[in-house]
């Protein structure tokens, strides 16, 4: 018997007007948030959910709770296909010999079929994911402290063993450091602009070290407890290769379902915290840019290495993929989300259906041209200001 799910969210009269905890899932926050922007997001997703086939809603709702970005992206793509007048099958059976099924089979008004596969990609390593989970828990522990006169400034965290500190011991240490401060003296240092002279401390626990300081709140807000304690987080930096993450994710989808006998698109939601731009996308699909010095007396020539999804050392490859729709979308940036449909010039089944009305990239005469198209805001009839302000006070 198929389990049924009538609604996506089950929060009853949400009354929480604050911000999300660092370690809290997006679904959990939306389920309890009473902020106007959160209510608008929740309402829109609920409308989309009601148009999702009832026999598949329970499975989708579970994905929302276990991996919000995956569930959200699948629901968004389903709604996108609806807005472009497709008839949709969820997880269609493509062959009795194959157990794996693509996410969608869609048929446009002219009767042309399309297979669409959804994926979310980040460029985090396993170690980085573990580190980020640890930091989220750490920041939540610190933010539970109620300190009305100061913001905490976390300068650096050194944690080679990925150790979770004792929340009680850390909180006691921070509270003891702040107890001895004179607010007027600290405020005077800040007024002079001498931030590097503000008091700092280092908490140590085995290999873990957390260097932190404080910034005084403004005089008029002194004594209030309506702010998060952490006011400044440690800077992060690294060498990014988002194109590699995109290339790997798409390539895995290329041969997953065999010959489908129809256009096959991969939709990729790029959620790199370091950002992904057109250069990353182009290098993933068409090959990494490189400069070749054929003649030292002449300027170098720029060309692409044969390491792209669509072009390798032996020429065109992954021809089963007709195109890749790359999006960078979360619920709060829907109207202005960046997206581009990259059409494979060597596809076995070229795509020319309704989705080409989206912004697209087409390879012509050795170059790639970007053509404008419909935004998600226009497709979903959402104004640019939707869903409203997220972090400051909101008034309807």
Q: Is the peptide bond before 387 cis (omega within 30 degrees of 0)?
A: yes
pLDDT more than 70, % of the chain:
90
290 and 181 in a common domain: no
Q: Which residue is it, tokens 């910034």?
A: 215
338 and 247 in a common domain: yes
Question: What confidence score (pLDDT) does residue 297 get?
Answer: 66
Query: What is the H or E stretch that residue 315 is in?
Result: strand 315-316
Classify residue 396: in a domain, yes or no: no
Question: What confidence score (pLDDT) does residue 293 get?
Answer: 61
Classify residue 5: in a domain, yes or no: no
Question: What is the average pLDDT value for the chain, to the nearest integer?
Answer: 88
Higher pLDDT residue, 124 or 192? 192
Question: What confidence score (pLDDT) does residue 60 get?
Answer: 96
164 and 81 in a common domain: no
Closest CA to 305 of 348, 349, 373, 247: 247
Q: Which of 182, 199, 232 is the last residue of a domain?
A: 232
Terminal-residue alpha carbon distance, the chain: 44
Q: Which residues have CB under 8 Å from 239's CB, separation 6+?
A: none
203 and 251 in a common domain: no
Q: What's the domain count of the chain?
A: 2
Classify residue 195: in a domain, yes or no: yes
Give the C-alpha distances (Å, rounded to integers) separating 277 from 48, 70, 274, 282, 284.
Answer: 29, 21, 10, 9, 11
Q: Which of 61-70, 106-115, 228-237, 370-379 has the lowest mean pLDDT?
A: 228-237
- Specify the 3-state DSSP secondary structure of 112: coil
Question: What confidence score (pLDDT) does residue 96 get?
Answer: 57
Q: Which residues have CB under 8 Å from 327's CB, separation 6+?
A: 73, 267, 268, 269, 270, 337, 338, 339, 376
C-alpha span between 382 and 165 (Å, rounded): 44
361 and 285 in a common domain: yes
282 and 344 in a common domain: yes
Higher pLDDT residue, 94 or 299? 94
Token code pair at residue 282: 């182009």
Classify residue 337: in a domain, yes or no: yes
Average pLDDT over residues 158-168: 84
**202 pLDDT more than 60:** yes
Instruction: Please state, as a whole number, how many other Cβ atoms lie within 10 Å of the Cβ of residue 88.
Output: 19
Average pLDDT over residues 128-144: 88
**371 pLDDT more than 80:** yes
374 and 251 in a common domain: yes
Classify residue 3: in a domain, yes or no: no
Higher pLDDT residue, 112 or 392? 112
211 and 192 in a common domain: yes
Closest CA to 107 of 99, 95, 96, 115: 115
Classify residue 271: in a domain, yes or no: yes
Domain residues for the domain of 273 are: 26-123+241-379
Classify residue 314: in a domain, yes or no: yes
Q: Which of 182, 205, 232 is the last residue of a domain?
A: 232
Question: What confidence score (pLDDT) does residue 6 get?
Answer: 84
For 160-219, strand residue ranges (E) read 200-205, 208-216
Average pLDDT over residues 374-388: 95
Question: What confidence score (pLDDT) does residue 15 get?
Answer: 82
Q: Which of 206, 232, 258 is the last residue of a domain?
A: 232
140 and 95 in a common domain: no
292 and 177 in a common domain: no
161 and 97 in a common domain: no
> Predicted confidence band at 342 (pLDDT cuts at 50, 70, 90)?
very high
Classify residue 336: in a domain, yes or no: yes
pTM: 0.86
140 and 113 in a common domain: no
């Amino acid at each position: 018997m198929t389990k049924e799910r009538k609604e996506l969210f089950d929060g009853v009269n949400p009354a929480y007007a604050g911000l999300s905890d660092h370690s809290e899932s997006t679904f959990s926050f939306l389920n309890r948030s009473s902020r106007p922007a959160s209510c608008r997001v929740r309402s829109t997703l609920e409308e989309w959910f009601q148009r999702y086939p009832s026999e598949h809603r329970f499975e989708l709702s579970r994905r929302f709770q276990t991996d919000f970005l995956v569930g959200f992206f699948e629901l968004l793509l389903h709604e996108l296909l609806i807005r472009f007048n497709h008839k949709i099958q969820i997880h269609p059976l493509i062959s009795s010999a194959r157990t794996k099924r693509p996410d969608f089979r869609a048929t446009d008004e002219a009767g042309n079929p399309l297979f669409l596969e959804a994926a979310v990609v980040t460029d985090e390593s396993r170690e980085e994911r573990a580190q980020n989970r640890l930091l989220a828990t750490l920041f939540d522990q610190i933010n539970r402290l109620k300190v009305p006169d100061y913001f905490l400034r976390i300068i650096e965290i050194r944690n080679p063993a990925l150790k979770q500190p004792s929340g009680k011991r850390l909180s006691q240490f921070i509270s003891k450091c702040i107890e001895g401060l004179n607010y007027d003296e600290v405020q005077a240092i800040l007024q002079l602009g001498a931030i590097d002279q503000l008091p700092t401390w280092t908490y140590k626990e085995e290999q873990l070290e957390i260097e932190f300081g404080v910034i005084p709140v403004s005089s008029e807000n002194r004594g209030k407890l309506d702010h998060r304690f952490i006011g400044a987080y440690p800077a992060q930096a690294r060498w990014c290769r988002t194109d590699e993450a995109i290339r790997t994710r798409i390539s895995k989808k290329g041969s997953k379902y065999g010959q489908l006998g129809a256009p096959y698109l991969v939709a990729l939601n790029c959620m790199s915290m370091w950002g992904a731009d057109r250069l990353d996308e182009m290098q993933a699909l068409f090959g990494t840019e490189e400069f070749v010095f054929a003649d030292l007396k002449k300027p170098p020539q720029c060309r692409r290495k044969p390491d792209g999804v669509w072009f390798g050392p032996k020429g065109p490859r992954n021809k089963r993929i007709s195109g890749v729709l790359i999006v960078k979308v979360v619920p709060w940036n829907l109207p202005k989300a960046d997206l581009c449909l990259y059409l494979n010039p060597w596809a076995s089944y070229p795509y020319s259906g309704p989705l080409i009305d989206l912004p697209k990239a087409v390879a012509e005469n050795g170059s790639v041209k970007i053509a404008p198209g419909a935004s998600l805001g226009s497709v979903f009839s959402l104004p640019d200001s939707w869903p409203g302000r997220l972090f400051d006070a909101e008034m309807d």
